[in-house]
Structure 1
Amino acid sequence: MDLYPLRVEARRDESLSRWLWLVKWLLLLPHYLALAVLWTGLVVLTLVAYLAVLFTGRYPEPIRAYNLGVLRWTWRVGYYGYQALGTDAYPPFTLADHPDHPARLHLDPHEPPPRWLPLVAWLFAVPHLIVLGALYRTTDTPAPFGLTAALLLIAGLALLFTGRYPGGLHDLLVGVARWNLRVAAYLVLLVPRYPPLRLDQGGPEPDPAPAGPVAAQPSRPDPHPPVAGPVTALVAGVLLLLPAVGLGTGGVILLTVDAARDSAGYVTSPVQRLQTSTAAITAEHVTLTGTGAWTRQTADLGELRLEVTAPADRPVFVGIAPQSAVDTWLAGTAHDELTGFASGAARYDRSGGPVRPVSAPAAQPFWIAQSTGSGSTTLQWTAADGEYAVVVANVTGAAGVSADVRGAARIPDLTGPGSGLLAAGVLIGLLAVGLIVIGGTGLGRRHSAPVPGPQNGPTPRLNPPVTTGS
C-alpha cells in the first residue's frame, strides 16, 4: 500500500486526570519557550534548505533531522496540551523519537524533493491553509473561539465533570492535528508528496503499516544530553534576530522617509479634506517635549508647515495656540475635533454646545503662529515644548468650514543614519542566521540517520514504531 511518508500516531490514555488540563498551560511554559526558539530556527533552516534544494537538488540531512525533531517535539506538546489533551504523560525535552510517549511522529524514506518545489510549495499549500484556517480561526459567532477550540473545551469539560474523554472528539482533534502536521512537513519540504485533502481521524494512521520489514530512517543513538555548543549557538542566534530585525526595519523606515523629502527638506502628507457644519475644526492635545534637543542637534528639524486651501469666496484661517487658550475661546460652542482618518476620510469627535459663529479668530491674542488667506494659505512654525491645538476656521468665525489641508515637517538628511542602521541590521542578521545554522545543524546531526555507503554498510531495515489506537 502506498503510505503517506509522514505518520502521525497517538495513543489515548485510558485514565486522564479530571483537572490537570486546567493547569497544563502553566506546566508547558518551559516547552513553549523552547519551541519559540526551535521554530525560529526551523524557519531559518528551512530557508537554507530551500536554497540547497534549488541549487543542489539535495535536502541537507542535518536540517531534515532538526526540522523533523521540531515537528516531533511540537506534536508531543500539542497532544499533551491544547491540541488534543490526549495524555497526562509530560512530554520530554528532546528532538529524538521517544518510543514510550503516546504521541509519536515518524518519517518514512521517500524520494528527494524536486528542485522547483521550493518556488511553489507555499502556493500549492493554499487550499490546505484555507481549510485549516477555517478550523482554527475565531468565528463571528457569539463563541469567542474557533471550532477546534470549542471541541477542546467540550472535551475538557467532559473530563472535569464525568472523568471521561469522548472518543469521537479525541479522534477528530487528532485528525485535525495530523492534517496540520502533514501540511507543515510539506511546507518545510520534509515530504515532497502533496498532502491528502482529507481529515484522517483517529489515533493510529488510517492506512495500516506493512506487516513486513520496511526501510526506515533510524535515529542516531543519543547517549549523551545535548551539548552546550549547538544549543547556545541556536539561542544566541534567535536572540540576535530581534535587534537585527529592529535595526534593519528602522534603517528602511529612515531611508524611505528620506526619499520622500523635497528640495527644501520637507516631507509632506497627502491632501486631506476637512469639512464641518460648525465654526471650527481642531486637532487638540498636541504635546511636544524635547524640542530644544532637536533644534540644538540640527537646524533642519522642528520646522512645521500647514497648507490650507479653501473656496476663494470664503477666506480661511489656520492657527496654532496653547490648548488652554483654545479651550477658553471655544467653550460652549460646538466644534469638530479631528481624531484620525479612515479610508481617506476624516473622523471627528464633536464637542457639546450649540452650532453658532465664534468671534473672529484672527482677533484673538493667543496665537503662536497663524495665517489667513483667500484660496490657499500656508502656516510656518518652529516647534517648541508645550501642549497645543491646531485650528482651521473661517476668517469671519462663521459656521460651516470646508478646506483641503496637508501638513509637512522639515527633517535633516537621513541617508547616513538610515544606511548605518540598515547595514548594522544586515550584519547582525547574517551573524544570527549563521549561529542558527550552526546550532540547528549541530542538533540535527545528533539525530541524523547514518548515510549508506561502503563505510557504513547497507541501510538497516527496521520495523515501524508500534502504536496503539484509541
Structure 2
Amino acid sequence: MLAVGSVLLLVGTGLLGAGGTALAADIGARDDAGFLSSDVQRAASPGYALRSEPVVLADGPADPSGLARFLGDVRVRAHGAGDRPLFIGVAPAAQAAGYLHGVGQGVLRTDTALGLSVTSDDGVAPAGPPAEQRFWAASVTGAGTQSLTWSPVAGDWMVVIMNADGGAPVAVEGTVGATVAALRGLAIGLLVGGGLLLVAGVWLVAAGARPEDRSAAAGVHAGEPV
C-alpha cells in the first residue's frame, strides 16, 4: 500500500503541475486574438523559398481530424527582410512539393536542442510567382507583416514562405501560433485527474503506515490468559 500510494502521489503531483501550467497558458499567454504563439524565430535561405516539412494531420481511423480540431485555427505571421513583399501559403504537401521540385529552397526543421534550423538546397528559380498558383488552401501576400490564418483539416500539408515575386534570397522573422480551443478542457481534466490520484495516494500511504494491531496479530482476545 505504501508503494502504490507513493506512486499515485508522484503521478498525481505531476498531473496537477501539468494541468496548472496548461491552465496558466490558456488564461495568461494568449494574445488579443486568442492565439498561443511561439517566440519570434528568424530563418533565411539563399534559395527561392522556405518551406516546412510535410505536416500530417491525422489521429487514427475513427477520428481522422482529431489533431486538427485540437489545434483550432493556426496562424503563421512573418515579416520579410527590408519590407520586401512576402508570400505565405499552405497547400497539400504533394502539390507544394511539385511546384518546388528542383527549386532552390530551405527546409525549416525544429530541433528540441537547437530550436529552428534551416537546411538549404541548391536549385533553379520557380516556374512562376507563388500567388499565381491555384493549389493553395490559404495564402496571403503583400508588403510588411503578413498574417496567414488557416483552419486545418485532415491531410498532408506544407507551409511555404517566399518573396512575392518568387525571387531569391528569402529571409524572414515570424511566429507560429494556434488557438488550441481544447486546452482549457485538457487543463481541467489534468487537474481533476491529478487531484483524485493525490487523494487516493494519501489514503493508501496513511493506511499503509498505520501501526498493526499487535494483539489481533498474535491471536490474543479479551478474557484469554496471557
Range class of TM-score, shorter chain: 0.7 to 0.9
Shift in CA distance, 373/312, structure 1 to aligned 2, threshold 3 Å: farther
Residue identity matched to 1:303: D
Cα shift readout 1:332-352 (whole Å, capped 9, x = no counterpart): 22311111157776312334x
Q: Counterparts of 1:203-222 in structure 2 under 5 Å?
A: none
**Residues 1:340 and 2:110 are matched in the alignment:** yes
**Residues 1:252 and 2:20 are matched in the alignment:** yes
Cα shift readout 1:196-252 (whole Å, capped 9, x = no counterpart): xxxxxxxxxxxxxxxxxxxxxxxxxxxxxxxxxxxxx22331342354245324412
Query: In the alignment, which of 288, 296, 313 is matched to residue 57 of structure 2?
Result: 288
Query: In the alignment, which of 221, 238, 248 is matched to residue 6 of structure 2?
Result: 238
Q: Counterparts of 1:429-440 in structure 2 under 5 Å?
A: 429-440=198-209
Shift in CA distance, 319/281, structure 1 to aligned 2, threshold 3 Å: same
Q: Secondary structure at the match of 1:240?
A: helix
- How far did residue 276 of structure 1 move? 1.1
Shift in CA distance, 316/295, structure 1 to aligned 2, threshold 3 Å: closer
Partner of 2:146: 377
Unaligned runs of 5+ in 1: 1-232, 446-470
The answer on whether the counterparts of 1:272 and 1:344 sit within 8 Å (CA) in structure 2 is no
Shift in CA distance, 345/248, structure 1 to aligned 2, threshold 3 Å: closer
Residue identity matched to 1:252: G
Partner of 2:219: none
Shift in CA distance, 413/284, structure 1 to aligned 2, threshold 3 Å: closer
Query: In the alignment, which of 145, 150, 167 is matched to residue 398 of structure 1?
Result: 167
**Residues 1:279 and 2:48 are matched in the alignment:** yes
Partner of 1:310: 80
Query: In the alignment, which of 37, 41, 45 is matched to residue 268 of structure 1?
Result: 37
Partner of 2:221: none
- Point out the structure with the larger strand share: 2
Residue identity matched to 1:263: D
Q: Counterparts of 1:36-115 in structure 2 under 5 Å?
A: none
Between the aligned residues of both structures, percent identity stands at 32
Partner of 1:364: 133
Cα shift readout 1:156-194 (whole Å, capped 9, x = no counterpart): xxxxxxxxxxxxxxxxxxxxxxxxxxxxxxxxxxxxxxx
**Residues 1:426 and 2:195 are matched in the alignment:** yes
Q: Counterparts of 1:139-218 in structure 2 under 5 Å?
A: none
Shift in CA distance, 366/345, structure 1 to aligned 2, threshold 3 Å: same
Residue identity matched to 2:137: I
Structure with bigger RCO (C-alpha 8 Å, 6+ apart): 2
The answer on whether the counterparts of 1:265 and 1:412 sit within 8 Å (CA) in structure 2 is no
Partner of 1:119: none
Shift in CA distance, 284/362, structure 1 to aligned 2, threshold 3 Å: same
The answer on whether the counterparts of 2:47 and 2:120 sit within 8 Å (CA) in structure 1 is no
Q: Whose radius of gyration is greater, 1 or 2? A: 1
- Point out the structure with the larger helix share: 1
The answer on whether the counterparts of 2:36 and 2:179 sit within 8 Å (CA) in structure 1 is yes
Unaligned runs of 5+ in 2: 215-226
Residue identity matched to 1:432: G
Partner of 2:120: 350
Q: Hey, what's the Cα distance between the residues in 2 that align with 1:431 and 1:386?
A: 42
Partner of 1:98: none
Shift in CA distance, 339/421, structure 1 to aligned 2, threshold 3 Å: same
The answer on whether the counterparts of 2:57 and 2:68 sit within 8 Å (CA) in structure 1 is no
Cα shift readout 1:108-138 (whole Å, capped 9, x = no counterpart): xxxxxxxxxxxxxxxxxxxxxxxxxxxxxxx
Q: Hey, what's the Cα distance between the residues in 2 that align with 1:363 and 1:399?
A: 17
Aligned residues: 207
Shift in CA distance, 266/325, structure 1 to aligned 2, threshold 3 Å: same
Q: Hey, what's the Cα distance between the residues in 2 that align with 1:412 and 1:302?
A: 6
Q: Hey, what's the Cα distance between the residues in 2 that align with 1:337 and 1:422?
A: 39
Residue identity matched to 1:385: A
Q: Secondary structure at the match of 1:255?
A: helix
Q: Hey, what's the Cα distance between the residues in 1 that align with 2:84 and 2:188?
A: 47
The answer on whether the counterparts of 2:68 and 2:153 sit within 8 Å (CA) in structure 1 is no
The answer on whether the counterparts of 1:288 and 1:384 sit within 8 Å (CA) in structure 2 is yes
- When the two chains are superposed, the root-mean-square deviation of aligned CA atoms in Å is 2.9
- How far did residue 417 of structure 1 move? 4.8
TM-score normalised over the length of structure 2: 0.78
Residue identity matched to 1:319: G
The answer on whether the counterparts of 2:45 and 2:118 sit within 8 Å (CA) in structure 1 is no
Shift in CA distance, 268/431, structure 1 to aligned 2, threshold 3 Å: same
